[in-house]
Amino acid sequence: MADRVCLVHYHEIGLKGKNRSTFENQLVTNLHRALRSFDVADIKRISGHILVTAADGMATDDMAHAISRVPGVARVSVAYVCRQDPEEYCAAAVRALGEAGEFGSFKVHARRSSTNYELHTLDINRLVGSVLCEKFPNKKVEMHHPDVTVIVMVVNASVYVYTDTGVGVGGLPVGTAGKVVTLLSSGFDSPVATWMVGRRGAVCVPVHFSGRPMTADTSEYLCQDIINAMAPSGMVGRLYVVPFGQKQREISLCVPQSLRIITYRRVMFAVAERIARMEGAKALVTGESLGQVASQTLENISVVNEMVSMPVLRPLIGSDKQEIMRRAEEIGTYDISAQDAADCCTLFMPRRPETHAKPDMVHEAWDSFDHDAMIEELVQSVEYVDFDQCPSYKPPRQLRARHRELAPARFERRGDKDATGEKGAATE
């Protein structure tokens, strides 16, 4: 009996030139991490694909589903692998079609990357098709829009036969596009923005600004849950937490009410950039969507942007809330983000925030307090938690010795999540 394997297909990686093997090797590494809970015998590159073999020779649909959630995977097929023996792969085709469920029509589509095999793809189509017509006499052959397509693919010295293909997340393997720092809240937007940039191959380092000690630390637990929900993608290695509540109070006492949010965000950007420099990250990422809230108008984005010298990526800038929430459902963060949690987004918020900030007014407010000292204090108070999810993440040398000191015990799992409701977007 032929073994069942997972055949991983990719799109963008196949367009790479001389460095294509780098992307393929990174994808193999990431698949090893994603499949740690499965008994996998081997993961290796073959011509234009990645081949995943189970220890017992019987790859499962659960294994294929886990593979489909890894960035860089366009599609994944559970296939029977055979020798280049017509009798063997025809038998596998009969079995694959028999497992396809209810169908009224089918066709055979042969592919061949091994030109040393004597049979042409048209010959393979006729050979396998004749056997299937004999075994399934009541089913119709339909060349244009069949219910089921039986794929017979000749690669190297093997033949892979399958009918069903699961859609993957696509993109590029995490670890091939450098490192970014993302501003992460427990709302809907920033987790989706983090996932979208990670899907393009970036290692993501989230920074969460907590309202602690002025609010409970619930949002910190939710951010950890969000990262765990995105664990199959393998894009996050560490979460930084910045206790921001007391500094927000200080800002609210000396800055005009209408400019509080802008000032909060300027401080956040400055702190995030400091962390990014320590991490060796090349950009910041936010969940801003143009015009969605007061802080996300072009004028306000501009005066906040001037705080940093590195690029700021905004993958959601042209998305509306419904699009963002649909994506949150797809990646598994929606239910977590829907939970109510007081955080810095809702702390000391003005009744009428400025929507079209004038630079001169913002600079005057900025100079009304010792912002340099505040930024330095926040950087020194940063806490972090490491996640064993991203094989490409390397912690910065400056912070390795401080891990035991800073990793907060409050991040132990707790079960007091309740209520629902959408949070603000000050850190989105």
How far apart CA 359 and CA 362 sit, in angstroms, is 5
Q: Which residues are annotated as a binding site?
A: 183-184, 208-209, 265, 287, 296
Q: Could you tell me which residues come within 8 angstroms of residue 111 by beta carbon, excluding any fewer than 6 positions away? A: 121, 151, 152, 153, 154
pLDDT at 33 over 50: yes
Which tens digits make up the pLDDT trace of 96-126?
A: 999 999 999 999 999 988 677 889 999 999 9
Percent of the chain whose predicted confidence (pLDDT) is above 90: 79
- Rounded CA-CA distance 143/159 in Å is 22
**pLDDT at res. 295:** 86
CATH topology classification for 3-167: VC0802-like (3.30.2130)
The backbone torsions φ and ψ at residue 309, rounded to the nearest 5 degrees and listed phi first, read -105, -10
- Binding residue numbers for ATP: 183-184, 208-209, 265, 287, 296
Domain boundaries, given as residue ranges, for the chain: 3-167, 179-408
pLDDT of residue 406: 43
Helix or strand run (H / E) with residue 243:
strand 238-243
Q: Which residue has the higher pLDDT, 418 or 19?
A: 19
- Please provide residue 386's backbone torsions phi and psi, each rounded to the nearest 5 degrees: -95, 145
Dump the DSSP string for 17-42.
-TTHHHHHHHHHHHHHHHTTTS-EEE
The pLDDT assigned to 416 comes to 41
pLDDT at 209: 95
pLDDT number for residue 1: 64
Considering the entire predicted model, what is its pTM? 0.88
Average pLDDT over residues 394-400: 74
The least confident of 52-56, 264-268, 301-305, 381-385 is 381-385
pLDDT tier, 390 (very low <50, low <70, confident <90, very high otherwise)? very high
The rounded distance, in Å, linking the Cα atoms of 388 and 369 is: 40
Q: Tell me: domain 179-408, CATH 3.40.50.620, correct?
A: yes
* Rounded mean pLDDT, 280-298: 93
pLDDT tens, residue by residue, 193-203: 999 999 999 99
Place of tokens 């630079």: 359
pLDDT band at 215 (very low <50, low <70, confident <90, very high): confident
Candidates 255, 209, 223, 208; CA nearest to 411 is 223
Higher pLDDT, 215 or 246: 246
Examine the pLDDT at 56 and tell me if it is beyond 80.
yes
